[in-house]
Each structure stands twice: as structure tokens, then as C-alpha cells.
Structure 1
Amino acid sequence: MLRLRSCILSHLLSSPAASSIPFSLHRLISAAAPAVSPSPSFAVKDYLVDTCGLTPAQALKASTKLSHLKSRTKPDAVLAFLAGLGLSSADVATVVAKDPRLLCAKVEGTLAPNVAGFIGLGLSRTEIVRLVSLTPLSFRCRSIVSNLPYYLSLFGSYENLLRVLKKNINLLGYDLEKVAVPKVALLRECGLGACDIASLCQNVPWLLTANLESVQTMVACSEGIGVPRGSGMFRHMLHAVAFLNEEKMAVKVDYLKNTFRWSDAEARVALCQAPMLLTRSKDMLQRTSEFLSSQVGLEPAYISRRPVMIMYSLEGWLRPRYYVVKFLKENGLLKHGASYYTAVKLTEKVFMEKFICPRKEATPHLSEDYAAACGGEVQNNFRFI
């Protein structure tokens, strides 16, 4: 019976007459789900393992949320519905493990109307399957259909929405006006456009579901550091401060000042250009500071005006390029006034074109040695010879 129902549903979803699906699904599920008397022998954990495909550990955890189930009537109907949508056995197991209570959802009252709503919004069968697989808890909320157009418009595309949902799977189930709309309004007041908001939500997935006061604090911290609303770096600063409270941020700023020997003004200049410095580990900052100051010989003020250098990998980017520049200068193949920073900020392709390729004849091993350096094989005293 389960197999028959899923096959019929699959046929309905793929038929040209998609507009008639809500009524057809209602008739299908109603007719194919005869009442089943509660069975005293029904074991939820066994059902989750044998029928849903969960592991024993997953089933044990999920069963605590299904202790009220006394028969397989509703779960069977839900599983048939999911199979008819096109979810594989593995997909079903994943969905049930994420949200066991989906097995108790009303197929004819919630799931079928939601699918009909998705189709009405223009989602393809594949897109519906991906959405259901990713957000099973929201799928059993009737508000998901009315919320979906807002988020599709906000994030610009279905793919952008999925990227956000992968990190905040319950977003579509929240009350739109109470949860998302006030935060989006605040972000727009700060000069962020739809693309900025979408990008920020991918990096800070809880942003739209956090309380408004938390987002207001992020805005205040960003402005306090010196990045004004409406500037191109404001989104990046919001991302940087999102995971820091005021106390932690103050500690991090002090650490940056002490590590790079910056004044308050120099620290502010650096952070306004490279807000993500606040997210870097203390160990990475310490090692990069020692390298740039002691080995390269750069002054604190110079670094603060070019803080992007600190964001690059020490082993895979800064150190190998330093060795190339140093070697070329020492061997008269590069002007002594040439800037190390110029070499650092170039893309890999352009760096190769400007520093490596033109000197193949004079230094036949330079490309090979540079590649070895990028792979971490170079010691501090390595010479490209």
C-alpha cells in the first residue's frame, strides 16, 4: 500500500496538471490511509530502525520525541508521502533523524497543501525535494509557503536561500513579521542591500533569528570601532563582531595593539580596512607579527596601513613570497626599492607572471623552489639556488 501511494504521488507531481495537485493529493491521501487501531505491540524504536532506516543510536534519541505514538498509521502516511515526492531511503532517514516529529504531521492537512503551495510558487520537483530534505521542521509548518516568497526575494535566488538554510534550517518556520523583518529593516537602515544581507546571513546564519537587541549591539560595536554605516566595510565589520561580545572584542583589540605595537589610532586604521582581524587566532596573529616585524623588517605603522597582509597565510603565502623577493634582490634580479607588499597583494597568477616567469632563464629552479616553499618545505634559511 505504501509503495502504491508513493507511486501515484510521484506520477501526480510529474504530470502537466500540476495546478490540480492540492485536490488530487487530498483525495489520494484520504483514500489510501484507512484507520488503523492502536497496537499495544507497536515499538517506536524498532519502527525507526526497520522502516525509517535510522541507526539504533539515532532511533533511541528520536524515540523520546515520539513516545506518544501508538500505531504506525501517521508515520506510514508520512513516509509514503515523502517517497512519493522523490526522497530516497537515505534522504528519509536523514529527515526523520533531524525532525522525528515530522512522522506525526498531517499529510492531508499540512504536508500536501505545503507541496501544492511550493508548486504554485514555481518550485520544481527537485527544488521541493531539496527544501524538504534540508528543512523538515519548517516543512510541517503551514507558514513555510507564505514565508518563502519573502526570503526568495531577500536572498535573490533559490540557491542563495539554500545556502542560508543549510546553516539555519528552521528559518522558514519562524514568524516572519516578528523575527526576520525587524532585523532586515535595521540592516537596510545601515546601508546594506539585498546581496549584502544574503552574504552576511550565510556567514552569520543565526542573524535573522537572533533577538533584535543582539543585532543592534553588533551595529553599535561596528560603529564604535570607526566603520560608519553605509561604508563598503560595514558588512564585513558586522560579520567580524557577530561572534564577540563587547568584553571579548575589547580583549581582542588590546591583543592586536600589544602584538603589533599599535597605538589606538593605528589599531582603528587597521580594523577599518580589515575587520576580520578580530576573528584571527592569537597564535596566528603572534606568528605573523613576529615574521613581518622581525624578519621582513616592517614598522608597526606601515603594517597598520596595510593590514590585509595579516590576513594571508604565513606559511603558504607571506613567507614564500618574501623568500622570492629577498632572493631576487640579493642576486640583482629585482630593484632593491621594490615593495614586498606589492608582491604580497598580487593574485597567484599575476605574481607568477611578474616575479617568476620572466626570470626562468636566470633562475631555472625558482618556480620549483617557490612551489616547494608554498607547500611548507622551505626552512627559514632557504635560498633559491
Structure 2
Amino acid sequence: MLRLHKYVLTQLLPSSSLSAISLPLHRLISAAAPAVSPNPSFAVEDYLVATCGLTRPQAAKASAKLSHLKSPAKPDAVLSFLAGLGLSTADVAALVAKDPKFLCAGVERTLAPVVVGLTGLGLSRPEIARLVSLAGEKFRGRSVASKLSYFLSLFGSYDNLLRVLKHSPNLLGCDLDKIVKSNVAFLLECGLGSCDIAKLCISSRWLLSANLERLRAMMACAEGIGVPRGSGMFRPMLRAVAFLSQEKITAKLNYMKNTFRWSDAEVGIAISKAPTLLTRDKESLQHRSEFLISVVGLAPAYIAYRPAMLMYSLEGRIRPRYYVVKFLKQNGLLDHDRDFYNTVMVSEKVFMERFICPHKKAAAHLAEDYATACRGEVPARFTFT
């Protein structure tokens, strides 16, 4: 292990230190840092600005956590180590601003063993450097390598893991056995496969660190709405109910029943097909209901079985396409009725090919009027009586 430590350090420390490879590890690391400053009044704030690249306000804030430092010896060793990993000046400044105590980490006791462990997992220096920037203070924990080994297995790749850590670096600080593995075991019991769990946790990172009782409540809520474990909509449903209390979910279901004139069965069907309806604000749901039922003339049951169209913008998609189809019908340019749901759901390219382009001669201004309607305005030719 000592030889491995030495090997890693030869890759990280400046070339001036390589000749010391035969020295004991602690002497090797000492060689990487400048000598202790003879100045007894070491100015931490000035050091953070001049050497670490922090702004004066950042340095003033960070220096409060480093008031015990009397010389630049330890920070210089850490900075040398980080430079060896390949962190840029900007990376170092961001790291120190976020975690000033990183400068006090022991290179031999803490940082070098962590890098050795990560190298053993197959991570390259650029990958480790990226991890340092994301993990911050969590990188100073001796258990980083073992946790990373588990997360790499869980998420399937280093890139997937970085996506998670970019938004949830505190995940590396969670208790692996008591929290993370317990939550994963529960998700497996719920019928989710390993790939499902990885996908779910990539988009809903908090699941791995959530309270287990909260997870149980979410599962019960999803099933109570009518989405069984193992179904294709189970993962979206978990995301939808994640931060909603049972009281708020019940209130939202009742609101949708009244707004869309749905029965208990119909609101259950709609939510099971489009769980994110639970996250829509009441005003947007009200506007869609008024337009689709009162203006377009759709039956409530028709909407309940096709709730995906409620996910689209009323102003930017649903209403403009309704105007186009109605205009074409009134001017005898459509040879048969078109299903409204399919009209809304087709891509913009397909909609243009089916409803706009074929009528360039008969309705020369149709494309222009459609574009105007998509901006929220109502062209005169789209004013129907």
C-alpha cells in the first residue's frame, strides 16, 4: 500500500519532488510544500486572495474558518496536491470558497489515501479532479472510495454518478448502510429493478437519502391513486407525489374532479396516465378545462382518457392548433373531421406538413396567422362567430 501511495503521489506532485521518491511518504509530501513561513503573523485573508484566487469578500468570509493557521505550510501542500490532480486556478478558488477547511486537510493522512482508493476503482486523474470540485468537503472523508464504488455499481457509469453529484453532492455524506442501502432495498421490494432504481434516482436524487418512512408513505400514496408497483407509470408517479402531503394530494384530486367534471374513476384514470397533473397549478388547469370543454366541446371522459394533452401549453400549442383546424373546416379545406387529441399531440413539423403546407395557395396567410396565434395573439381571420 505504501508503494501504491508513492506511485500515486509521483503522478500528482511537481517534478521537483520526484527525485525524493525513495524518501518516506511523510518526507515526500513535505518536499512538495514550501518551507514554513518565518512570518509569525501569517495573513490568511491575503493568502486566500493572492495564492488561492478568491475575491476579497470571499476571502474575508473564508478566513474566519482558518483563523488557526499560522503558516502557509499545510495550505501550500494541499494546493500542490490539487494542482497535481489537474484542478485549474478557477477550480481551486471555487473549492476553497465553498470549503475553506479543505486547505487544512492532511495530504498524507487523508487526500492521498482517497486518491489511491479512487485510482483503484479505475478513475483517471481528470475524473478524480472533477469529483473533488463537486464533492468539496465530502472528498475529505476516508470512506469516499468505498461509497463511490457502491454508487458506480448502482448508477452504472461515472457519467451518471456525476449527474447525481452535480445536484446532490451531500449524497457522499450519507450513511451508506443505514440510509442509502436500506432505501435501495426497499425500492427493490417494491418491484423496481436495478435499472429502474438507477433511472429513478438519477432524476429524483433525494430518494437515496430520504427517510425510509417517507418512502413507504409515497409508495402507499401512489398505489392508492391507482398506479401499481412495477407499472410503467410508477416512477413518474413517485416523482409527482414526492413532496406533496396526503392532504394536498386529496385536495388536488378533488379540485380536478370539479374542474374537469370527472368522476372518481375518471380522475384516477387521468392521474394514472399523467401523474404530473398533480404538480400543475390550479389556474393553468382551470384555463385548460374552460377551453377544452366550453370552447372545443370535448367531453370530460374524452379528456380523462387522454390527459397527456393537458401537459402542453394552452397559449403556445393547444389554442393555436384549434384555431387552424376550425379555420380549415369553416373554409371547406378539410375533407373530414380530425381527432382533436391527435391534432394536439403530433410534432410541430408534422402539424405543419398536414395542416399548413397543403393550403398555401388556398389560404396564403395561414402560416403567418398560426405563428401569430402561437405568440398569444388572435389574428382577425381566427375570430369565429
Match of 1:120 in 2: 120
Q: Does the Cα contact within 8 Å between 1:9 and 1:85 map onto a contact in 2?
A: no
Q: Does 1:147 align with 2:140?
A: no
Q: Does the Cα contact within 8 Å between 1:328 and 1:334 map onto a contact in 2?
A: yes
Match of 2:90 in 1: 90
Matches within 5 A, 1:143-182: 143-182=143-182
User: 2:207 corresponds to which letter in structure 1?
Assistant: L
Cα distance change, pair 121–336 in 1 and its aligned pair in 2 (3 A)? same
Match of 1:202 in 2: 202
Q: Name which of structure 1's ranges 27-36 and 77-86 shifts more when overlaid on structure 2.
A: 27-36
CA distance in 2, matches of 1:366, 1:107: 69
Cα distance change, pair 163–349 in 1 and its aligned pair in 2 (3 A)? same
Cα distance change, pair 383–29 in 1 and its aligned pair in 2 (3 A)? farther
Q: Name which of structure 1's ranges 272-281 and 72-81 shifts more when overlaid on structure 2.
A: 72-81
Q: Does 1:299 align with 2:299?
A: yes
Match of 1:264 in 2: 264
Cα distance change, pair 275–362 in 1 and its aligned pair in 2 (3 A)? same
Deviation at 1:305, TM superposition (A): 1.2
Match of 1:63 in 2: 63
- Please, which runs of 5 or more residues in structure 2 have no aligned partner? 1-7, 16-20
3-state SS of the aligned residue for 1:206? helix
Deviation at 1:49, TM superposition (A): 2.9
Q: For each residue in 1:277-335, what CA deviation from the matched residue of structure 2 results, as whole angstroms up to 9, or x when unmatched? A: 11112222222222212221222222111111111111221112111211122122224
Matches within 5 A, 1:245-324: 245-324=245-324
Q: Does the Cα contact within 8 Å between 2:270 and 2:307 map onto a contact in 1?
A: yes
Q: Does the Cα contact within 8 Å between 1:222 and 1:237 map onto a contact in 2?
A: yes
Deviation at 1:179, TM superposition (A): 1.9
User: 2:188 corresponds to which letter in structure 1?
Assistant: R
Matches within 5 A, 1:344-383: 344-378=344-378, 382=382
Q: Does the Cα contact within 8 Å between 1:10 and 1:86 map onto a contact in 2?
A: no
CA distance in 2, matches of 1:370, 1:199: 38
Match of 2:233 in 1: 233
CA distance in 2, matches of 1:366, 1:198: 47
Q: For each residue in 1:52-90, what CA deviation from the matched residue of structure 2 results, as whole angstroms up to 9, or x when unmatched? A: 222333334433433433332222211221122111111
Q: Does the Cα contact within 8 Å between 1:327 and 1:383 map onto a contact in 2?
A: no
Deviation at 1:381, TM superposition (A): 7.1
Cα distance change, pair 361–14 in 1 and its aligned pair in 2 (3 A)? farther
3-state SS of the aligned residue for 2:217? helix
Deviation at 1:25, TM superposition (A): 7.7
Q: For each residue in 1:222-276, what CA deviation from the matched residue of structure 2 results, as whole angstroms up to 9, or x when unmatched? A: 1111111010000000000111122222222222223222222221111000001
Find the structure with the greater CA-based Rg.
Answer: 2
Q: Name which of structure 1's ranges 199-208 and 25-34 shifts more when overlaid on structure 2.
A: 25-34
Q: Quote the RMSD (CA, aligned, Å).
A: 2.9
Q: Does the Cα contact within 8 Å between 2:138 and 2:173 map onto a contact in 1?
A: yes
Q: Does the Cα contact within 8 Å between 1:167 and 1:202 map onto a contact in 2?
A: no
Cα distance change, pair 14–322 in 1 and its aligned pair in 2 (3 A)? farther
Moved over 6 A (4+): 23-26
Deviation at 1:26, TM superposition (A): 6.3
User: 2:92 corresponds to which letter in structure 1?
Assistant: V
Match of 1:331 in 2: 331
Deviation at 1:9, TM superposition (A): 6.4
Match of 2:81 in 1: 81
CA distance in 1, matches of 2:372, 2:187: 45
TM-score (norm 2): 0.87
Q: Does the Cα contact within 8 Å between 2:155 and 2:198 map onto a contact in 1?
A: yes
Q: Does the Cα contact within 8 Å between 1:38 and 1:70 map onto a contact in 2?
A: no
Q: Does the Cα contact within 8 Å between 2:9 and 2:112 map onto a contact in 1?
A: no
Deviation at 1:119, TM superposition (A): 2.0
- Please, which runs of 5 or more residues in structure 1 have no aligned partner? 1-7, 16-20
Q: Does the Cα contact within 8 Å between 2:184 and 2:208 map onto a contact in 1?
A: yes
CA distance in 2, matches of 1:205, 1:290: 36
User: 2:228 corresponds to which letter in structure 1?
Assistant: P
Q: Does the Cα contact within 8 Å between 2:201 and 2:208 map onto a contact in 1?
A: yes
3-state SS of the aligned residue for 1:207? helix
CA distance in 2, matches of 1:377, 1:14: 64
Cα distance change, pair 268–57 in 1 and its aligned pair in 2 (3 A)? farther
Deviation at 1:140, TM superposition (A): 0.8
Q: Report how many residues are paired.
A: 371
Tell me the percent identity. Answer: 68
